[in-house]
Structure 1
Amino acid sequence: MKKSPQTQLIHAPRLAPQYIETIQPPLYRASTIIFENTQKLFDRHWSDRYDYSYGTHGTPTTYTLADKIAQLEHGQYCLLAPSGLSAVNLVNSALLKSGDEVWVPDNIYGPSMAHARYLEKNFGVIVRIYNPLDCDSFQPSKQTKLLWLEAAGSVTLEFPDLVNLVKKAKQHQITTVLDNTWGAGLAFNAFDFSDEHLSVDISVHALTKYPSGGGDILMGSVVTQDHTLHLKLLHLHATQGISVSGDDCAQIQRSLAHMQLRYQQQSMTAQTILQWLKQQNKIQQVLHPSDSLSAGHEFWLEVCQDQQSAGLVSVIFQEQYTLEDIRRFCDALQLFKLGFSWGGPVSLVMLYDLKEMRNLEHPHLANGFLVRFCIGLESSEDLITDIKQALQVL
């Protein structure tokens, strides 16, 4: 068939061989995927492990990253979502209906709580709040379908009584889902974290943080070991058109090779800064699961047997300092930039008023304004010098 120049530009008469071995796998960008023949078109099914039918379902690029995240988290199946919060929403929407009860820890990630409240207000889902340090505060009913866990908790970094909470949920046939962004699949194995080989049912991970590592990619994942549960999640994932960019997947794929090195480096820097912060008289409490004085330390030791931890450290200032004082402190920092998230090369800082964030009593926390430091890849000496000069404004 003779083709015009325009047609030849679209249907190239000659293609270079498509497969060579490279350090990074090929990047596939696709909405439309071409079927070889009608047999291939009709033989496919949405539940296939690799459903190459349309870009929203997946490409070799997205499936390669999903497989690697599943491997990282010691799971079998992984779904990718546009953000960590999108992954949270996928789990809630797939597993909860009107009249169902979901339990969330009092130190849950703020936007996760906001989504739970949205489901409560608009769809009749019942939201219950428990103290993650006290298994007895989790009192499931016949309506309870889902238990959310965070290890460690958002902002105040309490490590929960993970073993007993999961045991109790299993006794009542309740699905457990862990926000594993802090542990990142490295601090502990969410699918085998005790001598009794306890496992959560679902691990949600904001790949925006450590897997990305650059502070420039948004993505989330949902990992399971149970095929039936995976299909329930996959069906909603497909029908809602939840999808991610191939370019973003390639970027995260590239960063995974040095993820553990970054995690360990930021953890070591956090430990150094933690010890220095404990000596500062303008700070009354330092919060980090590895510190023996922090709530949940014994649970961290129980689960994180290699004693790994993320590079987050929170402090509560002496009570006499006002919000304006703490704002001046944050504004005086030079290396620490004011912003949300963590896991990137640049250290971040954020200030919080716990009175506006918690529903239950928290006697283990001092009164005062809280600042969370998210450690980047700068030297510990430079970061300490930065905090030291900023403290002078107080």
Structure 2
Amino acid sequence: MTQKKPDLATALIHHAYEPPAGFVAPQPAVHKASTVIFPNTAALRARNWKSKAGYTYGLHGTPTSFMLEERIATLEGGLQTLLVPSGLAAIALVDMALLKSGDEVLIPDNAYGPGKELARNELAGWGVTHRFYDAMDPGSLTAAIGPATKLVWLEAPGSVTMEFPDLPALLRVARERGVTTALDNTWGAGVAFDAFDLADGQGVDICMQALTKYPSGGGDVLMGSVTTRDEALHLKLKFTHMRMGWGVGANDAEALLRSLPSLPLRYAAHDATARTLAQWWATQPQVVQVLHPALPGSPGHAHWKAVCTQAAGLFSVVFDERFTAKQVDAFVDALRLFKLGYSWAGPVSLVVPYDLSSMREHPAWKGTLVRFSIGLESADALITDFEQALAASGLA
């Protein structure tokens, strides 16, 4: 008697075969899910989305996202990590979880621009006030902290202008006044210094990164992370994370998991080439300042040296004000290997010109600033590109 063929739709959905356990490979598996299946109602009612003891819903975590969270926590030197869709979302998560109407947040004047705009607009609309302080002067932070201050942002080095602050001094000011600190550690990437242990066994309360940059390393993933060491603080952030519905795609998490093992090697390579190029620019008569924390004479070099072992592949140069913005733009446009584009830490070198007067209330230099993100090309090839662009634009 021939066996009757089963109903195909049902059989394909409820197929009985389960692959054997024990498969191990260099790269972790990718788990995609919105719905998570429970074995029974007792398990459904017993599982708690707040921990990694089990799975409840795809937005609250899968084996893939849990694994990435744990590895980022190790990278940062923390205990818990939350993943969000971008670095800016990581800043927003911290602000939204810790600030309410009537509170105040203090932000370095040289911090990441979109984070400042978030304070000027959304936070202000919600009744959260903000003030900008001079990150290079701990006294400026001391003067700014008041009874309403609930959060102090730190960034090392400053965005675009690359000043490296005295992080231990700033942390002491905040800690003595009982104010929570959050560091944008995208530049350090968990490699250049230990943000949770900066001085006397003390460090920041929260460390966030744009994983878009060094942890990804490919210029093709948008993601952010927020890492802590304190369980109560982590849960406060996690509740907001849950209520906002923030999640990351499994394929993006997979890309990060593939890139992380090479992060220390890539960071060191970017660092070495960037220092070579920064030193080359320091000999060029067209520029009045090379902004690279590891370069003597760059603002905050001593502070960098006190806490860092490495530096990111990122630096800026300030052209002499005798050159117009149009002339500097012509130099940027003449570059061949450097591509014009935002972000950094990928394999391709990038360049962006900036108008200092539009970035700071009191810029320390006059002239046009150009930021270079150094990729993985050879230093000799990139220097040759600089030389031909200077000549082609008439700046040589």
* TM-score for the superposition, normalised by structure 1: 0.96
Structure 2 counterparts to residues 1-394 of structure 1, below 5 A: 3-138=6-141, 139=143, 140-194=145-199, 196-304=200-308, 306=309, 308-359=310-361, 361-362=362-363, 365-392=364-391, 393=393, 394=395
Preserved CA contact (<8 Å) 1:51 1:57: no
What SS does the aligned partner of 2:365 have? coil
Q: CA deviation at 1:78?
A: 0.1
1:175 maps to amino acid: T
- Counterpart contact for 1:76–1:225, Cα < 8 Å: yes
- Shift in Å, 1:119: 3.1
Q: Deviation of residue 120 (structure 1)? A: 4.0
Secondary structure of the structure 1 residue equivalent to 2:130: strand
Compared CA separation, residues 321 and 339, structure 1 to 2 (3 A): same
Q: CA RMSD in A?
A: 1.3
Q: How many residues align?
A: 388
| CA pair 277-166 structure 1, distance change in 2 beyond 3 A | same
Asked whether the equivalents of residues 66 and 80 of structure 1 are also in contact (C-alpha less than 8 Å), the reply is yes
Identity %: 51
Distance 1:284 1:4 in 2: 77
Report the alpha carbon displacement of residue 9 of structure 1 after superposing the two structures with TM: 1.5
Contact 1:73 1:223 in 2 (8 A): yes
Structure 1 CA distance for aligned equivalents of residues 116 and 5 of structure 2: 62
Query: Partners of 2:358 and 2:21 in 1: how far apart?
Result: 56
On the 8 A contact 2:49/2:55 being kept in 1, the answer is: no
Deviation at 1:161, TM superposition (A): 1.4
Q: Deviations over 1:310-345 (max 9, x none)?
A: 000100001011111111111111100001111100
Deviation digits for residues 114-138 of structure 1 (CA, Å, limit 9, x no counterpart)? 1111134311111111111100011
- Is residue 279–residue 295 contact of structure 2 (8 Å, CA) maintained in 1? no
Q: State the shift of 1:103 in Å.
A: 0.5
Scaled by the length of structure 2, the TM-score of the pair is 0.96
Residue ranges of structure 2 left out of the alignment (5+ in a row): none
Counterpart amino acid of residue 50 in structure 2: S
Instruction: Give yes or no for contact 1:166–1:200 (8 Å, CA) kept in 2.
Output: yes
Q: CA deviation at 1:79?
A: 0.1
Paired AA for residue 352 in structure 1: Y
**Inter-partner Cα distance in structure 2 for 1:155 and 1:50:** 42
Letter of the 1:183 counterpart: G
The aligned amino acid for 2:353 is L
Partner secondary structure for residue 148 of structure 1: strand
8 Å Cα contact 1:208/1:218 also seen in 2: yes
Residues in 1 aligned to 2:53 and 2:262: alpha-carbon distance in whole angstroms? 27
User: For residues 36 and 25 of structure 1, what CA distance do their matches in structure 2 show?
Assistant: 24
Cα distance per residue 1:42-64 (max 9 Å; x no partner): 00123223451111101000000
Q: Tell me, in whole angstroms, the C-alpha distance in 2 between the residues paired with 1:185 and 1:274.
A: 23
Distance 1:31 1:281, change over 3 A: same
Question: How far apart are residue 2 of structure 1 and its match?
Answer: 8.3
Q: C-alpha distance in 2, partners of 1:4/1:65?
A: 40
Q: CA offset at residue 15 of structure 1?
A: 2.8
Q: Mark the CA change 1:2 to 1:143 in structure 2 (over 3 Å): closer, same or farther.
A: farther
